[in-house]
Amino acid sequence: MRNTAKLTTAVLAAGALTLGLSACGSDKGSSAASDYSGPLVVAASPTPHAEILNFVKKNLAKKAGLDLEVKEFQDYIVPNTATQDGSVGANYFQTKPYLDDFNKKRGTDIVPVVTVHLEPLGLYSHKVKSTDALKSGATVAVPNDADNESRALKLLAANGLITLKTGAADQATPQDIAKNPKNLTFKEVEAAQTPRSLDDVDAAVVNGNYAISAGLKPAKDALVLESAKNNPYGNLLAVKKGNEKDPRVKKLAKLLTSPEVKKFIEDKYQGSVIPSF
């Protein structure tokens, strides 16, 4: 009986020690998961997103106690996959409809933090000066991702070039066109390539950031430009779900919607990029 009691006491003590070590390990892991030290790395499109972030980094971040690192990406895929896998802490390049579609198709859980600005989508051409001058059978390049293609078709419909079927969903495609009086042909290309396609097509619908990067001035050069009124396509700061509480993200969100950033956007982009706050 005495030996049994000793053995039981030893087992209980070992169990308590193991539990204690496990608890310490859990606390340590939890602390590591919530380690918000070091710079906040943000993935961004070069224009205007990285430019806006670099303005914040140069002029506002230090005073706010934010160590900010900006990583530029040319495409619309990697910034989200890098945010999901933790390679970067946040991204700033996309709209809410695009993000929703990306999460649905890729199984990611990236969430918006704050909407910063709008880049009006525009129709551009190197061959004609107005939509009336587009000939029958003209070729129009549109972005090939679902969200931006739908947005492009809505822009054309809003300006009388096509009519979409009643009830066409947010993910409208050329198959949803009910009327096409100019018999326009649509060429689907990667969004980043739409400015380069202007020499090969009669017109192209180009995202604002790519238009600016290509030297186009949306407020001046677009044949037609998306209206900013009630526009759901504001560009936002986004993080992997759960990282909204990161104090660095909160600081950046506050700075991106500050009066200083609003003035920077208005002065630099002259209506080609519009503050959304």
| pLDDT tens-digit map of 197-228 | 999 999 999 999 899 999 999 989 999 999 88
Q: Which residue has the higher pLDDT, 255 or 26?
A: 255
Radius of gyration of the chain (CA): 25
Peptide bond into 195 cis (omega under 30): no
Instruction: Give the least confident one: 10-24, 183-197, 246-260.
Output: 10-24
CA gap 180, 37 in Å, rounded: 56
pLDDT above 80 (res 240): yes
What mean pLDDT comes out for the span 223-249?
94
Closest CA to 125 of 156, 148, 104: 156
The residue type at 181: P
pLDDT above 90 (res 117): yes
- Give pLDDT, residue 35: 72
- Give pLDDT, residue 4: 38
Beta bridge partners of 90: 42
CA gap 277, 262 in Å, rounded: 8
Query: What six digits make up the tokens of 173?
Result: 């495609």
Residue with tokens 């990306």: 102
pLDDT band for position 50 (cuts 50, 70, 90): very high
What mean pLDDT comes out for the span 221-237?
92
pLDDT above 50 (res 107): yes
pLDDT above 50 (res 158): yes
pLDDT band for position 171 (cuts 50, 70, 90): confident
- Give pLDDT, residue 11: 38
For residue 114, give Cα distances in angstroms to 92, 93, 238, 250.
10, 12, 7, 9
168 neighbors 177 (Cβ within 8 angstroms): no
The chain-wide mean pLDDT, for the chain, equals 88
Which residues in the chain belong to E strands, given as ranges? 40-44, 68-72, 90-95, 110-118, 122-124, 139-143, 163-164, 177-179, 185-189, 203-206, 224-225, 234-240, 274-275
What mean pLDDT comes out for the span 119-146?
96
- Give pLDDT, residue 239: 98
Residues of the chain with pLDDT > 70, as a percent, come to 87
Q: Which residue has the higher pLDDT, 9 or 70?
A: 70
Residues of the chain with pLDDT > 90, as a percent, come to 80
What mean pLDDT comes out for the span 162-178?
90
- Give pLDDT, residue 34: 60
* Number of C-beta neighbours around residue 189 at 10 A: 16
pTM over 0.85: no
CA gap 84, 241 in Å, rounded: 9
